[in-house]
Amino acid sequence: MSTEPTSRMIYVTFQREGIHAYPAAATEPALADVAFLGAPHRHMFHFKVGISVVHNDRDIEFIQFKRWIEGLYGTGTLELNYKSCEMISEDLYAQISARYPGRTVSIDVSEDGENGAWLMWKA
């Protein structure tokens, strides 16, 4: 039995205030009980971003990785329009994979640390 891990990843976490809406909620009968989501509303979006590394001495230093990702969002409240947690993750992955190609990446985005989506891209 091997004592080597099957994967090796680091992760960073951060939060950003954002405003978005779910337009279909305002018109779809099946979503009538959450119709209020159709109007722009605020959340604290919680991010947990993981990326594969190749050794234990951090070929990606996580403080630098976190600062870079946070910098992608600028300052102030995120104006996310209609974007879901999944869409936010896909946009972020495009930036990460351009800078760090060929790596496994996981992105968890939640609304208020309560409900969200977790997406993973395998190297």
Instruction: Tell me the pLDDT tens digit for each residue of 29-65.
Output: 999 999 999 999 999 999 999 999 998 888 999 999 9
Side-chain half-sphere CA neighbours of 52 within 13 A:
14
Orientation of helix 62-72 relative to helix 85-99, angle to 10° = 120
Phi, psi of 33 (to 5 degrees): -75, -15
- Burial tier of 18 (Cβ tally within 10 Å: 0-12, 13-18, 19+): buried
Model pTM score: 0.93
The answer on pLDDT for 26 being more than 90 is yes
Q: What digits encode the pLDDT tens for the residues 85-118?
A: 999 999 999 999 999 999 999 999 999 999 999 9
